Amino acid sequence: MEMSAARIKFGTFLAPHHPMGENPTLQFQRDLQFATHLDSLGFDEFWCGEHHSSGWEMIASPEMFLAAAGQVTHTIGLGTGVISLPYHHPFNVAQRIVQLDHMTRGRALFGSGPGALPSDAYTLNIDPLTQRDRQDEALGVITRLLRGEDRFSYDCDWFTLRDAQLQLLPVQEHIPMVAASTISPSGMQLAGKYGMGVLSIASNSAEGIQALPTQWSFAQESAAKHGNTVDRKNWRVMLSWHIAETREEARSQAVHGLQRWHNEYIHTILGRPGTVAVENPWELLDQFTGPAGGGAAVVGTPDDLVQAIRAIQKSSGGFGVVLGFAHDWANRENTLKSWDLVARYVIPEINGYTANLRKSADFVIEKQAELMSGATAAVMQKIMENEKAAAAMMTTMQQAAEQAANGKKKPDAAFQPGTGMPTTTKETP
Secondary structure of residue 325 in the 3-state scheme: strand
- Overall pTM > 0.85: yes
Report which of residues 162 and 1 the model is more confident about.
162
Q: pLDDT by residue (tens digit) across 206-234?
A: 677 778 888 999 999 999 999 999 999 99
Q: pLDDT by residue (tens digit) across 350-393?
A: 999 999 999 999 999 999 998 888 888 888 888 888 888 888 88
Residues 248 and 375 in one domain: no
- Give me the percent of the chain exceeding a pLDDT of 70: 92
Residues 405 and 275 in one domain: no
pLDDT at site 401: 86
Residues 333 and 381 in one domain: no
Q: pLDDT by residue (tens digit) across 103-134?
A: 999 999 999 999 999 999 999 999 999 999 99
Residues 351 and 373 in one domain: no
Q: What is the 3-state secondary structure (H, E, C) of 147-208?
A: CCCCCEEEECCCCEEEEECCCCCCCCCCCCEEEEECCCCHHHHHHHHHCCEEEECCCCCHHH
131-146 and 90-103 helices, crossing angle to 10°: 50
Contact 144, 161 (CB under 8 A): no
Q: 358, 385, 412: which is the final residue of a domain?
A: 358
pLDDT at site 374: 84
Residue 10 has pLDDT above 50, yes or no: yes
Residues 302 and 246 in one domain: yes
Residues 293 and 169 in one domain: yes
Contact 3, 317 (CB under 8 A): yes
Q: 308, 329, 358: which is the final residue of a domain?
A: 358
Q: What is the mean pLDDT of residues 141-169?
A: 98
Q: What is the mean pLDDT of residues 176-195?
A: 94
Secondary structure of residue 222 in the 3-state scheme: helix
Residues 241 and 374 in one domain: no
Rounded to whole angstroms, how far apart are CA atoms 224 and 58?
A: 38
Alpha helices in 230-386 (DSSP H): 247-260, 281-289, 302-316, 332-341, 347-351, 355-366, 368-384
pLDDT at site 323: 97
Residues 23 and 141 in one domain: yes
Q: Amino acid identity of 120?
A: D
pLDDT at site 291: 74
Q: How many domains does the chain have?
A: 2
In a domain? residue 36? yes
pLDDT at site 213: 80
302-316 and 206-225 helices, crossing angle to 10°: 40
Q: What is the mean pLDDT of residues 229-251?
A: 97
Q: pLDDT by residue (tens digit) across 276-313?
A: 999 999 999 999 998 755 678 999 999 999 999 999 99
Residues 269 and 302 in one domain: yes
- pLDDT averaged over every residue in the chain: 92
Q: Is 28 exposed, middle or buried (0-12, 13-18, 19+ CB in 10 A)?
A: middle
- Domain residue limits at 148: 9-358
Q: pLDDT by residue (tens digit) across 18-33?
A: 999 999 999 999 999 9
Residue 414 has pLDDT above 70, yes or no: no
Q: Is the peptide bond before 291 cis (omega within 30 degrees of 0)?
A: no
> Mind giving me the DSSP string for 102-143?
HHTTS-EEEEEES-S-HHHHHHTT--GGGHHHHHHHHHHHHH
Residue 421 has pLDDT above 60, yes or no: no
In a domain? residue 3? no
In a domain? residue 56? yes
Rounded to whole angstroms, how far apart are CA atoms 296 and 208?
A: 8
Query: Taking Cα atoms as reference points, which of 83, 79, 158, 157 lies closest to residue 115?
Result: 83
In a domain? residue 429? no
Contact 269, 310 (CB under 8 A): no
Rounded to whole angstroms, how far apart are CA atoms 415 and 413?
A: 7
Query: Taking Cα atoms as reference points, which of 76, 201, 79, 97 lies closest to residue 139?
Result: 97
